[in-house]
Structure 1
């Protein structure tokens, strides 16, 4: 009898996480199908937006949207000549956990990009997908800006 109670409790404890699990990819897939676009690759076909140039010689370029298993990431790069002066994340996944990870990794990734002046940046521990998507979108913006 005692073993049966223990087995029942352990079974219930194992089922609770399964019942509470809500995959974030369902939201992304339904949003993509609602927009009528399929997201099957890792990046969108466009290489980014054309650069917009300000009167003082700075220009801003938006990198391509990079789709990950957690959702889309996209960065916007500000150039002064060929120097990267700023990098901002303009799109992150919609779920709170991914947003929290992106928000915590963004300052480190920005600093890495400004120091390297390229998309060859180190991955932030605990934010691998965010770091890789950031670097891909950054490279697309650099390519479009040069």
Structure 2
């Protein structure tokens, strides 16, 4: 018998060869379902609103008629004017010379018909508010507001 080199019975301490990472197996992709409805179109930009002037109705009060005119630009009230206001005696004229400008200013600030009654000019204020509301309705109908 021939003797050959002696074999070691102790395990080898060398590292096993490094494994090269395998690319992950491609997962089967699910087909994207076809949309069942048409996509919602983007809203069209609103056209710019031109300047519009509207008149409210002529409202009779105990001291005389009231009519409000609104000027609207870009969807905003830029001016409110009582184009008809009670006139007559000096007391009515005095009260309305203060009340009407105050009401006009409040409309522009409020951008609505929610304005306060002017103390001492209750009838004029009520008539003004009624005419104002009809002017606002006309503006909405015209697409200005």
What interval of TM-score do these two structures reach, taking the shorter chain for normalisation? 0.5 to 0.7
Q: Which residue of 2 aligns with 1:24?
A: none
Unpaired runs of 5+ residues, structure 1, are 1-55
Cα deviations across residues 98-135 of structure 1 (Å, max 9, x unaligned)? 23222211121112111111111011111111111111
Q: Which residue of 2 aligns with 1:68?
A: 61
Q: 2:125 aligns with which of 98, 109, 131?
A: 131
Distance 1:72 1:107 in 2: 16
TM-score of the superposition, structure 2-length normalised? 0.58
Q: Which residue of 1 aligns with 2:138?
A: 144
Which runs of structure 2 are paired with 1:42-61 in the superposition (5 Å)?
Answer: 57-61=50-54
Q: Identify, as 1 or 2, the structure richer in helix.
A: 1
CA contact (8 A) 1:72 1:93 kept: yes
**If you compute each CA radius of gyration, which structure gives the higher value, 1 or 2?**
2
Distance 1:145 1:100 in 2: 31
Shift of 1:69: 1.1
Distance 1:105 1:132 in 2: 12
TM-score of the superposition, structure 1-length normalised? 0.58
Structure 1 residue runs of 4 or more that deviate by more than 4 Å after TM superposition? none
Once structures 1 and 2 are overlaid, which stretch shifts more, 125-134 or 91-100? 91-100
Corresponding residue pairs, total: 91
Unpaired runs of 5+ residues, structure 2, are 1-48, 141-145
